[in-house]
Structure 1
């Protein structure tokens, strides 16, 4: 006798629900026949006595109702009920324990009342099986039509997920590609990260591997499957479909439902879906062959185009191109890479607030030239001068008092006055130092390159606040951002030419001083800071922050090497990566 998983699950639940809790019931068995086919067992509960079953099925008569007879040895009762519906015939065999005749009559009456519900469930299960067949056919038609449009297996997996989600409404669909009997997760519904390792990914791959090993569709309930994979995935039911392209298994599709009572296609419909997916995989492979096969076809076509009698213009163009590349490879040239550059001062004087106070004056602004001793900033010092005058008057009073104490020989008072005078002297020195530092002057010839002191006149400043930056005129140099690809190829003291945006027609000769380890990101690439010194003092008035382009002489090469360097470097890196 054969049974489908759908019928077994549905009738098993119905048996447990309607008959499982009857007192005295030892076991029961449900046997089904559909539209004149063979009998098949679809559900069983407990222990059942199988003697006489063949005779009971051979004499099946739904009009006769039920039969009952004692078991051998008088250790219980054997009962059977036959009933028929529009499309199915159902026979239920039961084994009852020892009980008096009156109680047996009560139990048989209860069983007879509930057999009808089992017949209804059997009719419903058969109807769902027919719907599954129709559903599988519809899914297959849609998948096969779209397969040839998938340019890659990734697109094919997305098509499978979309169709299965629409038809079966699972909570999750996962597609695994199989290589060497080891499924690897490739795509999941919802756009999740299929390549990110996790317990859930391992559980999906275990379910796929179980389907591959079973070589057939699997329908699993909570607690089934390898290492309780459904519990890890928080799923109540699952269906795993191995997909074959010829004999080898190429893929496995896993569908999950969180609801343990979810209605799934039966095993026959699931197998039909798996076969349709296999046909779709074959169609996609033929419509879009692998890269190696396409490359071979391209080489074959290229050989026919080159050595055949057609496309004379193409052959002429190829000859001209080859001649041009040969000429470029023989023509000498120079590597002259260009880099972004700017004028910067390497030696700067930072003018900071000497103490807390108010900014009284800032006579210079950004870009002004300053001379040694020229006032740069001045803080308000009127309060300090008043304090200095007060301390001077207080010191004079203390000295007078000390003379009186000496005249009166008052030693204690003299010591007190001496200490106060010492404190006064220290405070006066501090005030005098602050007054001296209230005005900051330039210590060299320079240029104001940063700061905003002239905007803050009259406002309060804090000790250490940066007010101005003055660069030494002889410290101006060129800072260039050297692309990482050129760092190793620039020779020491390599000559170069700088063109500033302010003077695009006046090139400035210079040479490489050094390449530092400091880096800056430019246009998403890594660049190293390099300093270039001027060959001679420039005639124009340079200013800190001016920007331009610098071209550096990086050594001799050929015309092909000059313009093909980028492609060559890319090829070398790619070859090293795949080597």
Structure 2
């Protein structure tokens, strides 16, 4: 094999030269090989295309197509013969379980099966070079991705340090200037809604620039050109970039000392929001790697700078954007559920503004017994027994409590003994005929008997009994055994269970709508499933301060028989029927009253 073929193969500077040199070496190692071609997989179209052929690169490849297609379809080596007695062998370059790295097809002068198999074996041994080339390319690609990600993340952290978009853009262009080896880097953001244009935001190492200068206008024109097309634009064109109009970029090159310029659009939510422009005065074009770095940075920086710009706007601009976003949802071709929701809300608002319905005033309410009888202490004493407490049901004249009667019993015995003593003295005086003394003793006996009757009466009243049958709603002496009570002190309160009254606490803002004779429904917290009808009897003129504000007490009565499970003190919510009104007026009356009060307060 000529040493020149090996030298060309080992000294190849690019992929095409490497594959051509490898194919030349391979053809020299297969004795009967007259022609060979290396096919590579096009990542865009998925088709196989020739990347190296020899010894005649311009030769027609049609005779090699059948065996190449068979090998590509099966993923295995394939052989075939032609009508002219020539043989063909195709061997795929596999990368484990990954995609095919290439396909090698050889044409042999003979269709001898042994020669074809020998050619396949030789290709199998040599194809490791292609596999190695594939993995080396994949490694370089991943390394470049990691490098671009690191650069983009570093710039992201740098930009996040500045809340204002101008400062963030200045930090970005200053750092990006060194990364791209550019002489000048500029950033522009899209402004305007009806006729959007790119406005220059920052230039590298320029704390201030004149917006109406020739340079600024030329930069903005270039950025507008990239903005209008939505693609990366380079002048002169860079290999690998899609074809784009670059008239403004060429004009900028003619009017400045710049030799190469690159404009990369920044996007946010599938729309261009700005452009990064890099300039280079040296006659060195931007490499595909530098273009990919610029595109990665633009993809990450676009949403960040746009968000900072939006946050810096006045409230009017934010409202306009939000309104436009909502209208785009409602009037656009998609999001049917949002459109149906908007129609339903519109119909609800229209109905509320045109249809009237029952106007009801809500208020807190408490159920009380129609009467409340108190059981008081008949005399001063000490609690000896407590038979009931709050929550117990009692019958009329049932024992509620008993006071200590030991002192009263001693008082009873004292006056009984005094009566016996005076009676004995009276009999002795009568026997002696001392009538004056007898009259005096009889008067003392009557006085002692009165004292005895008083002691007996007080002794009888030590038992405190229920004045009526019902429910004990207040009072618990079980914790006060042995403690003193004063005469007239309220010990128990009892309410009947067959008649109730309702206390409705009406907010002072609703008082004009409420009057005596209005009806309503009461829903108790403990009975939420069965509303109780009631009718307001009177409204007291005295207000009461509660957590929700000032309220007025309205007394009402239940108009239906009371269920047996009602208890005094049960609370709930009452709704008073105050007539009819528009639903919109009923729902917004509190808001309108608050606005009127607030405006009146702020008026001079």
- TM-score class, shorter-chain normalisation, is 0.3 to 0.5
Greater C-alpha Rg: 2
Relative contact order, CA 8 A, sep 6+: which one is greater?
A: 1
- Give the TM-score of the pair, scaled to structure 1: 0.43
- Give the TM-score of the pair, scaled to structure 2: 0.42
